[in-house]
Amino acid sequence: MFKHIVLPVALLGAFASARADEGQWQPHQLPQLKSELKRIGITIPIDKLTDLSKHPMSAMVSTPGCSASFVSPDGLIVTNHHCGYAAIQRNSTPEHNYIVNGYLAKDRAAELPGGPSMLVYVTEKVEDVTERVLKGLAPTMSGRERYEEVQARVKALIAECETDKAYRCSVPAFHRGLEYYRIRQLMIRDVRLVYAPSDKIGNYGGDVDNYEFPRHTGDFSFLRAYVGKDGRPADASPDNVPYKSKDFLVVSAEGLKAGDPILLAGYPGRTSRYKLPAEIRFARDADFPLRVAGMQADLAVIAAATMGNPAYDVRYASVVKGINNVMKKTQGLLDGFARKDIAAIKDVQDAEFRAWFRQHQGGASKTMLADLDGAIGADMALSEEEYAYSVATHSDLLASARTLYRLALEHQKPDPKRDAGYQERDLSFIKARLTRLEQSLAASVDEARYAAALQRYGKLAARMHPAALDALLPAPHALPALYKASELADTAKRLAWIGKDAEAFRKSDDAFIKLAVKLNDVATGLENRRKEINGNFEKIIPQYMSAVIAWKKSQGKPVYPDANSTLRVTYGTVASYPARDGITKGPFTTVDGVVEKHTGKEPFVAPKELLEAIKEQRFGVFKDPLLGTVPVNFLSSADTTGGNSGSAVMNKRGELVGLNFDSTYESITKDWYFDSAITRAIHVDIRYMLWVMKEVDHADNLLKEMTIKYPRK
């Protein structure tokens, strides 16, 4: 989420680290937090948590966009229902609707293929390669030169690591370039659906309850990693065998209570904790309100264009869901900014830091702070143009044409010189994306959305319009002809462009290909300015962050880097929160709430078997002694964000007690500012999962496969 708005990352000291529970820590940082972890009651030796090859960290995996963990030695993986959704959807037919009915493989032979986009990554190695990335970079380089040199070195480090095709490597920057780590992940490509409850459990509450609490969602599903007979990742095949996971989590049904400590490990995507006050004001006063209005308008257009056509409705359902999700998150940030003047808080922190910095300038450039402010100003201006450009090109067909032409252009260079995302290693992902588009595209809807977007573009402030762009854009009334003159809506014809050379594009009569070619100079111009600005950030921000880290160190406080989709550990306690004056929410919800919410109307339709089990109080060992019934979801103060979906929530001994799946609405601001008083992550209580498996879905085979600690009677 927020792909465009996180590009202009700038940093502001880890002021937040002063507060308990904040922090998405790199595992190797955890020894700095030893006393804090001990204080809240964590008993697992902290040093064990730093070693990715040891329990429990070696049980943590990721899937695209989500986190997960092994729960048996035979590659059994537990994650969220919404993380396994693509695999469930892919195998569903009108006759066998696994979305509505759920699916349980009673034996291994019944486990269903997850499809090409269902991958499992196991992080095996993390190396500090900062020196190899930064050594000898001339300080005289322009931003863009520096950016491109760093990219070249990063690509070389990746290529060196990916000689074995079983692995996928990456070299993400931490603190925007202060440090670089090379991460080597085993990439398992045969992943099967083992078990998912009905979406009446797994997605109970649906979009209505998204980001809300009290929550009553059984957001869990089970996958299994398969490999070739040689034990190495292989393309999907019936001959493959379950992956022998070296490690797995023990599941504890002993439960937690308010105040108990938890650890949470996973792959948080992106945060913006170190934004400067000016950037917060820009987001709050200009950027976000514009985006929310744009998304609202887009949703209205989709609703009108799909009305009365159930097939289109289905095709755009996930698009709408996605836009709604981002819109709710953006609005949540705006609401958070309105509730608390975060810019003013950051003003104070920024002033404190700048005062300290003037006294302890050390090795940093004398002009560092001025350079930073300048870079941020340039970044905000460019961001406005980038946003306007995205509005001016808001068509899936045009986006496909741009990707295809860009691929052809990059293909003219030798592979290591191509821009990241357009190398040989990316080709299968691009192809998958261009294929998948058919599931969510109708040319007439795309045309309506694009026409409306062009209207919106026309109304944007003149300063936002990229130079030379306006003259190249089609007039809204010309769109019907444009769409008639393109074949890109046809999947086979769209895919046929992969591998064609740039000249073929320039000669094409396809209207969208022609438009993409025409827009290329403007797009390249924006990209080059982005490279220049990013290169400058990568020069300035590491200096700035070094100073911030030194400042915090002088106060005895460690600093964690913004999330960047790498493995992190966070911790906290099971805790309620004050949602409004006079209202406390959480920490637990129970099956009583499932009944309370059940209206019989989507998204509040609980399965009959579930309601009966509740009514008959068949709770067994899963009944919480304090609540007197089965808990469903619970809140903790851990620090999470998108990408943490499916993350293992562990008790003080490192046993699995829950799955992270969402945050409360009031917490949305945490991506920019962690307010420990109100920020809460929402987890599935593992007792609910186990109880549903036992009493509703009779998944006895899986309950037997896992190692489960039951409470003493």
Residues that bind a second copy (CB under 8 A): 213-216, 576, 579-586, 588-590, 592-593, 596, 633
Range list of H helices, 600-654: 608-615
Q: How far is the CB of 596 from a second copy (least distance, A)?
A: 5
The Cα 442–Cα 228 span in angstroms is 39
Tokens of 320: 């709408």
Looking at the Cβ atoms of 131 and 612, the one nearer to a second copy is 612
Catalytic residue list contains 51: no
Looking at the Cβ atoms of 215 and 670, the one nearer to a second copy is 215
Long-range contacts of 151-160 (CB under 8 A, 24+ apart): 151/419, 151/420, 152/416, 152/417, 154/180, 154/420, 155/416, 155/420, 155/423, 156/416, 157/129, 157/132, 157/133, 157/182, 158/182, 158/425, 159/416
The Cα 389–Cα 384 span in angstroms is 9
Looking at the Cβ atoms of 214 and 654, the one nearer to a second copy is 214
Closest CA to 285 of 332, 238, 337, 322: 337
Q: How far is the CB of 592 from a second copy (least distance, A)?
A: 5
DSSP track, 170-187: E--EETTTTEEEEEEEEE
Q: What are the residues facing 128 on neighbouring strands?
A: 181
Closest CA to 204 of 685, 603, 586, 592: 603
Catalytic residue list contains 365: no
The Cα 143–Cα 486 span in angstroms is 39
Q: How far is the CB of 45 from a second copy (least distance, A)?
A: 35
Catalytic hit among 219, 396, 446, 685? 219
Q: How far is the CB of 607 from a second copy (least distance, A)?
A: 18
DSSP track, 416-467: GGSPTTSSGGGHHHHHHHHHHGGGG--HHHHHHHHHHHHHHHHHS-GGGSPT
Tokens of 240: 């493959």
Contact 595, 549 (CB under 8 A): no
Q: How far is the CB of 220 from a second copy (least distance, A)?
A: 19
The Cα 182–Cα 161 span in angstroms is 9
Catalytic hit among 645, 647, 663, 667? 645
Residue listed under structure tokens 């070739």: 228
H or E stretch covering 278: helix 277-282
Looking at the Cβ atoms of 601 and 712, the one nearer to a second copy is 601
Q: How far is the CB of 683 from a second copy (least distance, A)?
A: 13
Catalytic residue list contains 395: no
Tokens of 323: 């836009």
The Cα 281–Cα 350 span in angstroms is 14
The CA-atom distances, in angstroms, between 663 and each of 4, 294, 542, 627, 643 are 22, 24, 31, 22, 12
Contact 639, 691 (CB under 8 A): no
How many residues are recorded in the chain? 713
Catalytic hit among 81, 82, 216, 598? 82
Q: How far is the CB of 216 from a second copy (least distance, A)?
A: 8
Tokens of 266: 């996973």
Looking at the Cβ atoms of 349 and 629, the one nearer to a second copy is 629
Where would I find the beta strands (DSSP E) of 545-693?
568-573, 577-580, 583-585, 588-590, 631-636, 648-650, 656-663, 681-685
Contact 597, 213 (CB under 8 A): no
User: Phi and psi for 128 in degrees, rounded to 5?
Assistant: -80, 115
DSSP state for residue 515 in the 8-state scheme: H
Q: How far is the CB of 599 from a second copy (least distance, A)?
A: 12
Where would I find the beta strands (DSSP E) of 64-213?
66-70, 76-79, 103-104, 112-113, 120-128, 167-170, 173-174, 179-188, 190-196
Q: How far is the CB of 591 from a second copy (least distance, A)?
A: 9
Rg from Cα positions in the chain = 25
User: Phi and psi for 29 in degrees, rounded to 5?
Assistant: -85, -15
Looking at the Cβ atoms of 480 and 578, the one nearer to a second copy is 578
Residue 325 burial (10 A CB sphere; 0-12, 13-18, 19+): middle
Within a 10 A sphere around the Cβ of 395, how many other Cβ atoms? Answer: 25
Q: What are the residues facing 123 on neighbouring strands?
A: 185
Q: How far is the CB of 593 from a second copy (least distance, A)?
A: 3
Say how many Å lie between the first and final Cα of the chain, rounded.
45
Closest CA to 168 of 117, 118, 121: 121
Looking at the Cβ atoms of 308 and 582, the one nearer to a second copy is 582
Q: How far is the CB of 258 from a second copy (least distance, A)?
A: 11
The residues carrying an active-site annotation are 82, 219, 645
